Amino acid sequence: MLKPNPLKALWKAGKPAFGTWITLCPHPRVVKIFAAAGFDFVIIEMEHTDFSFETVGTLAMLAREAGLTPIVRPPGTMKPHDLTRPLDAGAQGLLLPSIDTAEQMRAIVHATKYYPLGMRPMNLRGPHTDYVTARPAEIIEHVNSNTALVIMIETQRAIDNLDEILQVSGVDAVMIGPDDLSQDLGIPGELQHPKLFEAYERVFEVCHKHDVPFGLSAQNPDMAKKWVEKGARWIPYQNDAAMVFNTASAAVPQLKSIGGRSDELK
pLDDT in tens, 105-139: 999 999 999 999 999 999 999 999 999 999 999 99
pLDDT digits over 214-233, tens only?
999 999 999 999 999 999 99
CA atoms of 102 and 81, how far apart (whole Å): 20
At 76, the pLDDT band (50, 70, 90 cuts) reads confident
- Its pTM stands at 0.94
Count of Cβ atoms closer than 10 Å to residue 82 Cβ? 17
Give the integer Cα–Cα distance in Å for 262 and 246: 21
Exposed/middle/buried for 3, CB within 10 Å: 0-12, 13-18, 19+? Answer: middle
Beta strands in the chain (DSSP E): 17-22, 41-45, 69-73, 93-96, 148-153, 173-176, 214-215, 234-236
CATH of 6-240, one of 3.40.50.300, 3.20.20.70, 3.20.20.60, 3.40.50.720: 3.20.20.60
Instruction: Spell out the alpha helix ranges (H) of 13-126.
Output: 28-37, 53-66, 80-88, 102-112
- Give the residues across from 45 on adjacent strands: 73
pLDDT tens readout for residues 10-47: 999 999 999 999 999 999 999 999 999 999 999 999 99
Burial of 227 from C-beta contacts in 10 A (0-12 / 13-18 / 19+): buried
